[in-house]
Amino acid sequence: MKKINARQAYLLFVLASLSPSLRFTGKLCAAYGGSAGWVGILLSCGAFYGLARLLAVLCAGGGLYDRCRRIVGKPAGTAAGVVYMLWLLLLAAFTLRDFAGKLAVSFLPGPPAAFFMVTLLAVCFLILKGNREHFARMAAIGCWAAVLAVAAAVLLTLPEMKIEHLWPVTHYQAGPILRSIVPMLGVYAYLTFLLLSGGEAEKSEELKKYAPAATAAMGLINIAVFAATAGVFGPELTQQLPAPFYMAVKSIRIFKTVQRLESLFLIFWILADLALLVLLLHTVLALLRRTVRTERTEMYAAPVLAGVYGLALLIAGNIAETEEFARQIVIPVNIALGFGAPVLLGIVGRGRREMKN
């Protein structure tokens, strides 16, 4: 997506991040932070803003991947690219499996999970073989529509919310609050993965310009999602539900239009899943292009999708296993590669500049 600017990249990121946010934010922040989980989400915004600023600095003068190779050397930089490529393949498989699992169990019981996975992969194949820039621009428009749909759903759940599920917050909850930051860092790491694909989105000044707005959007969306889940069901019940935000939407009662609201919400959630999967697969192909030094990666799209499908069948057998996989593997590795690696790269790069001076 070489022609996508920083503003469109941030919108694509916000849309893609809705997939894990709607699925896991309420559950995991409630599990780690209890009724004070929303405070952890608020504090995590500082980490996201810092990450966005750091990535803007690292992207200056050639892009994130090229900057990595200049700092650590071409062999180590290429090896790092391969590590990211393999992880993003596994992450795409996890996203695909989670998408199929939540549809098969919560929304559209009946068809097997494989049916949903093959259908989504077919759409991804068409996008990857076609004009990805057009998809990114449409995703930017879809982001606004999806955010408005989530905002409307949250507002309609206000009558069901109970303040005692979210307040009071005391200093005794400091530990749980800090733990509730962890799942949010795993979501924010997708910004690093997006920028690894290169293109005009890596322009440093543009990334800095839109970082405050992206930070505010991520904070408001995730706090609203937490309030609509833990505020309605309570922290204890929220962490036990397979799809708490969907269940919150299902609890809305307005002029017998509940089914329509559920269908509308489902459309935007599928759009978010599609955006996240395309983001990951596009970055994989971009890294592959730089690794094998070829300008055409369309020929690799089908083998990559086949590999993702095979991995998805091996990752987990049900929603409970998928959630455990997210807790034990996805979130820690996302934090290590999406946060830890850029920070380490910035430290090493600054140290080398000071040594040269």
Give dist(CA 330, CA 332) in Å, integer.
6
CB 118 within 8 A of CB 255: no
Question: What six digits make up the tokens of 259?
Answer: 């089914």
The letter for the amino acid at 332 is P
What percentage of the chain exceeds 70 in pLDDT?
Answer: 88
Residue 200 has pLDDT above 60, yes or no: no
What's the pLDDT tens digit per position in 259-305?
556 777 788 888 899 999 999 998 998 888 887 776 676 778 889 99
Secondary structure of the chain in HEC code, one letter for each residue: CCCCCHHHHHHHHHHHHHHHHHHHHHHHHHHHHHHHHHHHHHHHHHHHHHHHHHHHHHHCCCCHHHHHHHHHCHHHHHHHHHHHHHHHHHHHHHHHHHHHHHHHHHHCCCCCHHHHHHHHHHHHHHHHHCCHHHHHHHHHHHHHHHHHHHHHHHHHCHHHCCHHHCCCCCHHHHHHHHHCHHHHHHHHCHHHHHHCCCCHHHCHHHHHHHHHHHHHHHHHHHHHHHHHHHHHHCHHHHCCCCCHHHHHHHCCCCCCCHHHHHHHHHHHHHHHHHHHHHHHHHHHHHHHHHHHCCCCCHHHHHHHHHHHHHHHHHHCCCHHHHHHHHHHHHHHHHHHHHHHHHHHHHHHHHHHHHHHC
Can you tell me the mean pLDDT for 83-99?
92
With a cut of 60, say whether residue 83 has pLDDT above it: yes
> Is 267 in contact with 56 (CB distance < 8 Å)?
no
24 token code pair: 């896991």
Q: Which residue has the higher pLDDT, 63 or 138?
A: 138
User: How far is 1 from 134, CA to CA, in rounded Å?
Assistant: 9
Could you read off the pLDDT of 296-321 as tens digits, one per residue? Answer: 767 788 899 999 999 988 887 677 78
Global confidence as pTM: 0.90
Tokens of 81: 């690219």
Query: Looking at the predicted structure, is the pLDDT value of residue 355 above 60?
Result: no
Which of these ranges, 10-19, 21-30, 327-336, has the smallest mean pLDDT?
21-30
Q: What is the mean pLDDT of the chain?
A: 84
At 171 the pLDDT is 85
Spell out the domains of the chain, with CATH numbers in brackets: 6-356 (1.10.4160.10)
